[in-house]
Amino acid sequence: MSTFKTTDAQCIRLAHIVVEMNAAGLDQAFVRRAHDLAREDQGAYELLELWSEEDDQAEREEILADMQEMLDEADDLPTRPLEKPYIGYDQLADVATRVRAHKQHLRRLIDANGGISEIARRAGMHQSALSRLLSSASMPRRTTLYRIANAMGVSEADVATDFVR
């Protein structure tokens, strides 16, 4: 986390943005978490400003998906340094194959439990964030997978894998 702290003027601007997000019908818990993070993180503050200034709804959704990722990352910050396993260059193809297989499994589970829109709603995520998670090449964060598991009513073991961040 950076040492960014909002100025008085930025706090007032942020309050206006939060009121606008609430008026737009965004989930209040999401808005509160975004507000709290934006008070401490310049990137989050700037994303909220971008959202407020954007007129295109599709762009606004993308900005909200980016904010969701920032919130998930903030939730995942370790309390102490972590030791991560080393993956050799010669193992990358195998890892990529396993990640793709895992995401296909996750997609089947999501489809069987109501689809992307429904699971995103139940998990308190934006639909675009869940779509991006399923289509990207990287593994999602463990906390995100747990939220998805809870939304589907399945165990964490059904959605987790060795390569979760």
Q: Do 95 and 150 fall within a single domain?
A: yes
Residue with tokens 């706090």: 11
- Rounded to two decimals, the pTM is 0.54
Kindly report the three-state secondary structure assignment for every residue of 70-129: HHHHHHHCCCCCCCCCCCCHHHHHHHHHHHHHHHHHHHHHHHHCCHHHHHHHHHCCCHHH
Assigned domain for 163 exists = no
Q: CATH number of the domain that 133 lies in? A: 1.10.260
Assigned domain for 165 exists = no
* pLDDT tens for each residue of the chain, 165 residues long: 457 888 999 999 999 999 999 999 999 999 999 999 999 889 999 999 999 999 999 999 989 988 998 898 887 766 666 666 677 778 778 877 888 888 888 899 999 999 999 998 998 888 888 888 888 877 777 778 888 888 898 887 777 765 554
d(CA 10, CA 136): 33
